[in-house]
Structure 1
Amino acid sequence: MTDFLNDLISKPRVTSLVANRAGDAVLNVNYLAKDGNKYRSQLWQVAESGNELAEPYALTSLDSNAKLQVLADNGDIYYTLDKEVDGADSSNIKGVWKLGSRGEAQLALSFPGGIDELSVRETSNGTRLIFTATAIGDDLETQTKILDARDKAGASAVLYDSFPTRFWDHDNGIGSTALYVHDGEKPRRITGLPEGKLEDFEVSPDGSTAIITVGTVLRGIHQRSSVFQISLDGDAAPRLIAEADEKHSYSAGAFSPDGSQAVIYKNRIWLPGQSLQVTAHVYNLDTGEFTALAEDLDRWPGDVVWLDEKRFAFATDNLGAGAIFVGEVGGESRQLTTTDRTYYASLSVCDGKLVALRNFIDRASEPIGIDPQTGVETELPSPVKNFVAPGRIEQVKTTAEDGSEITSWLALPREANGKHPLVIFAHGGPWGSWNAWTYRWNPWVLTELGYAVLLPDPAISLGYGQKMLDRGGDAIGDTPYTDILALIDAASQRQDIDGNNVAFMGGSYGGYMTNWVAGHAGTRFKCYVTHASLFNMENMYFTTDNGSWHEWMYEHENGQRNTYSPHQHIESVQAPMLVIHGDKDYRVPIGEGMALWASLQRNSPELGHKYLYYPDEGHWILKPENSRIWYQTVSAWLNQHLRGENFEAPENLGYANPAS
């Protein structure tokens, strides 16, 4: 195991930053537990209203594994803990704790089964907690009895009557998502909501109103969402703000500081002849009028934050990196940040300034402040030393078949010493970009072994304008494929790259692309690694949790399933494949990996394919030792096929190396 891989697994990880307008900011940091088989979270104050911090201070102990729910406007933080509620009659009663400024934590709320999302507002009657949670039965007492009875009886069965039945890596379970308000003795459920599944909510600054996103299905499985305004005092019927149709869905965004406006996102559905698009609009609650935000920018907006009643900001993908844009409602927008090698996340407004996490492909996240006028960045105090990659990053550009300029990043070992074998990482999404630090597909594990890693942004990549998305929307195995090949050709012409010794890897859509390339590229690549990959588009249609995929995959006879399904070309695979899949993957279900593996064994067992299976992981491999084994197995596979070494399986994999 390399030193860098050990650091990648064991070093603390900055995962999120939240702030309030008063000047408080809280950082969530994950630490490897003492037993080494899980991560535990700790909360740190990195900015404090009325006090300039020179050093951060811990708000929770590492042993508590506190998970932040919300940072209130007055500086109170609300979080959950891995512990039972003292004095509760049932182990199913889960708590939310409140910690005031440098005070002691106290129980703020308890609920059978626990809560999902929480907002906190100060009203004339005191503190109001608004949250979503699973509702079972007619009241909370009944809910507790049902949960306890199921536990005692060992019951796990669930009866469904609508789609979907699961999400990402977990089953949806019994009950339904409901909205609650807690400002008295016990939570009260908001009733009379529109029919459908409550997906998200935003609360007005005064706590009287919420905008909710409600999901419905067309023809049983095609998911859409609409936005409604509701009263949290129960004195008005829901008001429709934006209604979904065949081609569009909508979702709720943040209220303006005075509560008179709110952001609404319009999502154009991916359909044959129509590529995905996201736009942001401001809805005036008094007039019902919509105003497009950043209409002059050819970028998808990230989560919009309000600087004041007129000015806004958002972070988004931009030309192989990230950028923060600012603008005025009804006016022009401009790019605030200027660096071309930074990605921004967790953007918030904090005491008149912006705060965010800053990272890039070659360095992990760190908290920063940003001047909203000049874009000047300053580091915030952090308990974590910045984690920097052991190598170099350079850009490789070329021209696609249709004349478009296309871009990639090339990760290289720190020292330039001859020609390097080349490994291709195809990104997932499919709407994505290689522009940020990642712990799951980190190229620097391989550069430390002497490989060069190409990170291509082909058609369907974000940050290059809508045209780049439109180029591949109806041809996921065509234009993105030829773009990647063109970028490989460009990288292979470099003096430090061995263009005859190349491997291809990818996960999710990148795994789909790996399977597609394997069936079309002959012996151009020495081996493949395909993780959580789409293989048979028709089977995928019937098993994925994502109903929006169904329409572009299956609904049209000449659609993606018949034209660009990798299973149709499995007999053409001429290089060994390492298949990786997690059993709890509901986005690209395990059947895809099993079908690919069986097909490879049936058609070309002599190539020496292998299958790395995770019974307890989902689309992402997240457990520390499982992640370590992932990198070690991939490295051993590449060493075998690009360097001619014997395959050395990780010790904890328990793999019995065959005598051959």
Structure 2
Amino acid sequence: MAIRASKFTPEVLLSAPRRSAGLPNANASSVLYTTSTYSFDTHKKVTEVRVLDVESNESRLVTDEEGISEPQWLGDGIICLRSVKEGKTEVVVGPLGGSKNHYQVAGTIDGPASNLKIRELEDGVLAIAVSAQATPDGSLYNPETAPKPRSTGKLYNSLFVRHWDAYKTPEKNAIWYGTLSKSKDGKYELSKLTNALKGTGLESPIPPFGGADNFDISSSGIIFVAKDPELNPALNTKCNVYFIPISSFIESSTFGPHKVQVPNFEGAASSPVFSADGKKAAFLMMRQNGYEADKNQIFLIPNVGNASWIMPLLDSEDGKGTWECSPQSVCFSHDGESLLLTVEEKGKGLLYVIPKDPFKGAKSPRNLTWDGYVSDVRCLPSGDVFVSGSTLIDNSAYLLIDPSNAETPTLISSNSRNGATFGLRKEQVSEIWFPAADPLTNKKVHAWVVKPSDFDDSKKYPLAYLIHGGPQGSWADSWSTRWNPAVFAEQGYIVICPNPTGSTGYGQAFCDAINQQWGGLPYQDIVNGFTWIKDNMSEVDCDRAVALGASYGGYMMNWIQGHDLGRQLKALVTHDGVFSMTGQLASEELYFPFHDLGGAPWHNRGAKSTSNFAGSSLDAWREWDPSQHIDKWATPQLVIHNELDYRLTISEGLSAFNVLQARGVESQFLVFPDENHWVLKPENSLVWHRVVLNFINKFVGLPKFFDGEEGGLEFLGGERMEGEVVKMEAAGNGHT
């Protein structure tokens, strides 16, 4: 991006080049990466593989050939995957420069493959692994060439029926391994690939989001995580760590996966990694089954030759661990003597290091970063650490950190010149803290504040109050192309993003406190924040306030609509939110509502409430149900829902909109038949932004964002009913 945007708009957000995490070479003199750019003029996306020369800070194109993905260093050249006809995948190697003819196809995989990993073995031979789907008999699955059934019917006798945005099929993800050998004439040849999970009943990477972070390879073998095959994945989060010793990546291992036993830990496992020499391994694991936001704890396998020997780090007698933070990922330093951890902490994604020789006793981790959000970590032979990350104003930054002098990191590259190409400045972003509803977990609640780039302290600005999803999630100092606070700020709002009870990064107790409290403590935190803003931020006009949220944030919009705060807001926007708690029984990962609402609804009927605010005898499924309060719905509301959202089904959005319309509340319904829980397609996302901004701007006195009818969509409704209650006559009795 060389041209500064005159104003940061949704078009700028969605058409800006999206840069991948950087892959430095051994001495960090060059950085390999990809960018994808969508054009609203051509309506096409272009993906480029590029290399950055660190000294000159100049980037040059390696290739923009269609289908190329996942480039990695291979000596002074690269190796990558290329999607080709009939659903096949080529493994391609070549130099950094030159034409397409310089690239050699080392081998072809007869199906879609991804998550490429390579490790050097000996004599120029490389171990290679990818993930690809396998049929029930363990053979490679290619959906384009597989026989097509004559009927579309699907019969199930267990969960899952569908997951995230797809119906479950018999095929499973698998890890496939082999070798890449270099001949005397310099050409590489891919061996036959072996399914490491054939006949095991295991699936890795774990759908729907597992990827390269779910497995690792080394000269010792393969380490990976998979859901426990003896438990139903829709009702359990329990994952196991497995190690497959492999003496040769050319032939099938004579050993099956060895389950790594972790006593008293029954939750999800993640981030399995080897040390560079393949002699050690590490991973993260949670104690509690059924709770996906439990605290991650750190485990070492000091000698993979004896994978039964594991060492918990920073552990405690009560099992909670001595470190308050919950790491998101773990990796080894290049020498294998330190562990680096990414951690969400107080709205930031920070990098920590556990000092050398951690297995000689627990040592307190120390910071290597203090700001922004780290998304990827690469450890170099020099001992330095290469970091990829972002902030609320910068969509991609590369840093080089010397762990012995972390206070002065070197900025290698900023994709947006620290936000300048977007017309954004770091001075727009600040933080506030306000009183918490429950001082026993945290005395104060944190929130991010994003002001317009042309902010004038003599003026008052309407409030856009953004509530995050999860609910065990957070607003952080990181870039987003789906919910970007700066887009709303540049419309003329002061945007405030609170992290109420249930948010991650503020201690496990604060995260856990939302259990059976969905509309209790978090709602009171949000009310406290609104009151604090009104009393302490004179630049905010709380008489012109709107609130928006997705997923749990969408639930909270529906909850606010039926409660007092709803009457203080000019408009609400609900994206894929819960309307009725019983609607969550149509969801796929049932362990989630079962945990957060205190059990299955047939087990706790009539249970006494734990709420400090409601004092109800209803069970949590009914107590925190927005549909129980629809008699109070009166604030104008935009409802958005996607038909491929199998986590929160389309009936939730339709129900909310139908209630609003039947009550005569000004409302709109936006639906995307081809999107899941998120809106990912650029053209759809642009429409999403146009409709949302047009809707909220109308109620706070800001100019219409887009002049096209209904944000660029043809209005598909009939007669609009605004400002009157619809009366229905049934069986001779009048019902309002």
- Band the TM-score falls in, shorter-chain normalisation: 0.7 to 0.9
The residue matched to 1:423 in structure 2 has which SS? strand
The residue matched to 1:248 in structure 2 has which SS? coil
Whether the aligned pair in 1 keeps the contact of 2:641 and 2:672 (CA below 8 Å) is yes
Q: How far is the alpha carbon of 1:426 from its aligned partner?
A: 0.2
Letter in structure 1 aligned against 2:255: A
Letter in structure 1 aligned against 2:131: T
Alignment partners' CA distance in 2, 1:217 and 1:547: 16
Letter in structure 2 aligned against 1:71: Q
1:148 to 135, 145, 152: 145
The residue matched to 1:43 in structure 2 has which SS? strand
Letter in structure 1 aligned against 2:59: P
Alignment partners' CA distance in 2, 1:101 and 1:157: 49
What is residue 646 of structure 2 aligned with on the other side? 586
Letter in structure 1 aligned against 2:327: P
The structure-2 alpha-carbon separation of the partners of 1:439 and 1:34, relative to structure 1 and needing over 3 Å to count, comes to closer
Whether the aligned pair in 1 keeps the contact of 2:339 and 2:354 (CA below 8 Å) is yes
Alignment partners' CA distance in 1, 2:652 and 2:326: 31
The answer to whether residue 369 in structure 2 is matched with residue 368 in structure 1 is: no
The worse-fitting range, judged by mean Cα deviation, of 206-215 and 402-411 is 206-215
What is residue 330 of structure 2 aligned with on the other side? 304
Alignment partners' CA distance in 2, 1:474 and 1:651: 38
The answer to whether residue 573 in structure 2 is matched with residue 567 in structure 1 is: no
What is residue 375 of structure 2 aligned with on the other side? 345
Whether the aligned pair in 1 keeps the contact of 2:396 and 2:414 (CA below 8 Å) is no
Q: How far is the alpha carbon of 1:73 from its aligned partner?
A: 6.5
1:37 to 43, 48, 71: 43
What is residue 81 of structure 2 aligned with on the other side? 80
Alignment of structure 1 residues 161-200 onto 2, 5 Å: 162-183=158-179, 185-190=191-196, 194-199=200-205
The answer to whether residue 585 in structure 2 is matched with residue 541 in structure 1 is: yes
The structure-2 alpha-carbon separation of the partners of 1:234 and 1:302, relative to structure 1 and needing over 3 Å to count, comes to same
What is residue 87 of structure 1 aligned with on the other side? none
The answer to whether residue 463 in structure 2 is matched with residue 422 in structure 1 is: yes
Bigger share in strand: 1
The residue matched to 1:439 in structure 2 has which SS? coil
Whether the aligned pair in 1 keeps the contact of 2:432 and 2:449 (CA below 8 Å) is yes
1:106 to 101, 104, 107: 104
Alignment partners' CA distance in 1, 2:313 and 2:41: 49
Q: How far is the alpha carbon of 1:81 from its aligned partner?
A: 3.5
1:471 to 501, 513, 527: 513
Whether the aligned pair in 2 keeps the contact of 1:11 and 1:32 (CA below 8 Å) is yes
Alignment partners' CA distance in 2, 1:332 and 1:18: 30
What is residue 121 of structure 2 aligned with on the other side? 123
Letter in structure 2 aligned against 1:450: G
Q: How far is the alpha carbon of 1:335 from its aligned partner?
A: 3.4
The worse-fitting range, judged by mean Cα deviation, of 578-587 and 375-384 is 375-384
The structure-2 alpha-carbon separation of the partners of 1:474 and 1:547, relative to structure 1 and needing over 3 Å to count, comes to closer
Q: How far is the alpha carbon of 1:42 from its aligned partner?
A: 1.8
Total equivalences in the alignment: 642
The answer to whether residue 548 in structure 2 is matched with residue 505 in structure 1 is: yes
The worse-fitting range, judged by mean Cα deviation, of 374-383 and 245-254 is 245-254
Give CA deviations for 1:116-173 in whole Å, capped at 9, x if unaligned: 43322232472232222112365769x56x853635x787655555432443333444
Letter in structure 1 aligned against 2:551: S
1:402 to 438, 442, 455: 438
Letter in structure 1 aligned against 2:639: V
What is residue 230 of structure 1 aligned with on the other side? 244
Alignment partners' CA distance in 1, 2:689 and 2:582: 31
Percent sequence identity is 24
What is residue 607 of structure 1 aligned with on the other side? 665
The structure-2 alpha-carbon separation of the partners of 1:325 and 1:644, relative to structure 1 and needing over 3 Å to count, comes to closer
Whether the aligned pair in 2 keeps the contact of 1:369 and 1:379 (CA below 8 Å) is yes
Letter in structure 2 aligned against 1:500: D
The residue matched to 1:197 in structure 2 has which SS? coil
Q: How far is the alpha carbon of 1:247 from its aligned partner?
A: 4.8
Whether the aligned pair in 2 keeps the contact of 1:546 and 1:587 (CA below 8 Å) is no
What is residue 96 of structure 1 aligned with on the other side? 91
Alignment partners' CA distance in 1, 2:178 and 2:628: 55
What is residue 281 of structure 1 aligned with on the other side? 299
The worse-fitting range, judged by mean Cα deviation, of 281-290 and 463-472 is 281-290
Alignment partners' CA distance in 2, 1:55 and 1:135: 42
The structure-2 alpha-carbon separation of the partners of 1:41 and 1:280, relative to structure 1 and needing over 3 Å to count, comes to farther
Letter in structure 2 aligned against 1:369: L
Unaligned runs of 5+ in 1: 85-90
The residue matched to 1:575 in structure 2 has which SS? coil
Letter in structure 1 aligned against 2:431: Q
1:441 to 457, 479, 483: 483
What is residue 643 of structure 1 aligned with on the other side? 701
Alignment partners' CA distance in 2, 1:59 and 1:173: 38
Whether the aligned pair in 2 keeps the contact of 1:397 and 1:490 (CA below 8 Å) is no
Letter in structure 1 aligned against 2:129: I
Alignment partners' CA distance in 2, 1:613 and 1:2: 31
Q: How far is the alpha carbon of 1:241 from its aligned partner?
A: 0.2
Letter in structure 1 aligned against 2:376: S
Whether the aligned pair in 1 keeps the contact of 2:571 and 2:637 (CA below 8 Å) is yes
TM-score by length of 2: 0.79
The structure-2 alpha-carbon separation of the partners of 1:21 and 1:583, relative to structure 1 and needing over 3 Å to count, comes to farther
The structure-2 alpha-carbon separation of the partners of 1:322 and 1:221, relative to structure 1 and needing over 3 Å to count, comes to closer
Q: How far is the alpha carbon of 1:286 from its aligned partner?
A: 4.0
The answer to whether residue 436 in structure 2 is matched with residue 412 in structure 1 is: no
The worse-fitting range, judged by mean Cα deviation, of 32-41 and 442-451 is 32-41
What is residue 210 of structure 1 aligned with on the other side? 223
Letter in structure 2 aligned against 1:517: I
